[in-house]
Amino acid sequence: MAAGVEGSTATVRFVIDDYSGVWVPGTKVISQITFDGQRADELRRSGYHNSATGTTVVTAGLQKGDSYAVDAVFPKVPTDEQLGDTPIVKMKLPELHNVPDALSSLAAETVVDAETPIAQVRALETYLQKSGFFSHGLGGQAHLSRAGHTAERIATLLGGNQMIGDDEQYAVTMALMAREIGIPARVVMGYYPKKGSGSGGTFEATGDDVHAWVEVNFSGYGWLPFDPTPPEDQVPQDQNTKPKVDPKPQVLQPPPPRRSRWIFRRPCRTTANPRTTRRTSSASWASSLPSAASRCWCCSSSVHRSS
């Protein structure tokens, strides 16, 4: 599957737990997949691999208990100096719709001084990393960062007082900005362990470990990763991210018309059980009086109306 790709090799074993779907978790470059377990034959017959995109599917779908081994190749990521003037592979991608208007001009301004393809991509990545703030929107930060990557969510990210989001929003924003200046880019979702999180070469991936990043296909090097997400300790400095309200000039209002008002004595205290005594606010109680002079519902004291 990975003919001609050079790099370090390793065999990675996967055991499926609470996951189901046709997409097969694996590594970036795969030379071979070996299914085992009770459904090995079924998975092998329904498996397909796309070497151009580095993705694998099994139409039978993965289930809890499935397992397989991946013979993987980990190519060395080139430096910006090694890439030099290397062109980006041109390819036909699905047409974009409902792209926020601010993206096109922002992308053009961001790469105005970049002279090479890698410099352009790096400029987009650096801009989002340095200018944005990180928040998953969990707990008390729910009002700061909402999940999702719709056109409205990306427009909010770019149009607010501060850019606040997590890798989902930043990866999509960078990919869209790249597309706006003619660079084919894709958003990749996957797992990678944090430093020191694994023991004995074992890593347990859950939904909390899902990350998103951007990849761009450079000629002769394949899809290279870029991470535009700000560091997790780069948090919003001002918790109030609502737009500032433009104050309006104060206008002196005319006095309200004279109205009748109720004057009533404070009702007496009753000896009724406070748990069963009905409580009624003076406003609603007074408005329900049938005439200009009535009796207090608890002590029969007079209630008078004056104008």
As a whole number of angstroms, the distance between CA 278 and CA 298 comes to: 10
Q: Tell me what pLDDT residue 8 has.
A: 84
- Encoded tokens for 210: 């899902």
User: pTM for the complete prediction?
Assistant: 0.69
Is 237 part of a structural domain of the chain? Answer: no
pLDDT band at 52 (very low <50, low <70, confident <90, very high): confident
Do 15 and 103 fall within a single domain?
no
The model's pLDDT over 62-89, given as tens digits with 9 standing for 90+, comes to 999 999 999 988 888 899 999 999 999 9
Q: What is the pLDDT of residue 274?
A: 40
Residue 252 maps to a domain:
no
160: Cβ–Cβ under 8 A, 6 or more apart, which residues?
241, 243
Whether residues 45 and 93 share a domain: the answer is: no
Q: Are residues 69 and 103 in the same domain?
A: no
Q: pLDDT digit string (tens) for 210-220?
A: 899 999 999 98
The average pLDDT across 259-288 equals 40
- Number of structural domains (the chain) is 3
Which of these three, 52, 73, 94, is where a domain ends?
73
Residue 149 contacts residue 172 (beta carbons within 8 Å): yes
- Spell out the residues 6+ positions from residue 258 whose beta carbon is closer than 8 angstroms to its own: none
Q: Please indicate, yes or no, if residue 248 is contained in any of the structural domains.
A: no
Per-residue pLDDT band for 142 (boundaries 50, 70, 90) equals low
Residues 163 and 210 in one domain: yes
Specify whether 99 is located in the same domain as 207. Answer: yes
Same domain, 214 and 123: yes
Q: Cα separation of 48 and 63, whole Å?
A: 17
Instruction: Name the phi and psi angles at 107, rounded to 5.
Output: -65, -45
- Taking residues 96-102, report their average pLDDT: 82
Spatial distance between the Cα atoms of 156 and 165, rounded to a whole number of angstroms: 10
- Residues 176 and 228: beta-carbon distance below 8 Å: no
Residues 6+ apart with CB under 8 A from 103: 154, 158, 173, 176, 177, 180
The yes-or-no verdict on residue 22 having pLDDT over 80 is yes
Q: Domain residues for 97? A: 77-226
- 97 with 179, same domain? yes
4 in the Ramachandran plot: left (φ > 0), alpha (ψ -120 to 50) or beta? Answer: left
> What pLDDT score was predicted for residue 261?
44
- Higher local confidence (pLDDT), 154 or 214: 214
> Is residue 124 a contact partner of residue 110, using CB atoms and an 8 Å limit?
yes
3-class SS letters over the chain: CCCCCCCEEEEEEEECCCCCEEECCCCCEEEEEEEECCCHHHHHHCEEEECCCCEEEEEEEECCCCEEEEEEEECCCCCHHHHCCCCECCCCCCCCCCCCHHHHHHHHHHCCCCCCHHHHHHHHHHHHHHHEEECCCCHHHCCCCCCCCCHHHHHHHHHCCCEEECHHHHHHHHHHHHHHCCCCEEEEEEECCCCCCCECCECCCCHHHEEEEEEEEECCCEEEEECCCCCCCCCCCCCCCCCCCCCCCCCCCCCCCCCCEEEECCCCCCCCCCCCCCCCCHHHHHHCCCCCEEECCCCCCEEEEEC
Q: Is residue 240 part of a domain?
A: no
- Phi then psi for 163, rounded to 5 degrees? -80, 115
Residues 64 and 121 grouped into a single domain:
no
* Residue finishing a domain among 73, 94, 109: 73
Among residues 91, 90, 54, 89, the alpha carbon closest in space to that of 74 is found at 54
Average pLDDT over residues 181-189: 92
Are 166 and 47 within one domain? no
Is the backbone of residue 139 left (phi > 0), alpha (psi -120 to 50) or beta?
Answer: left
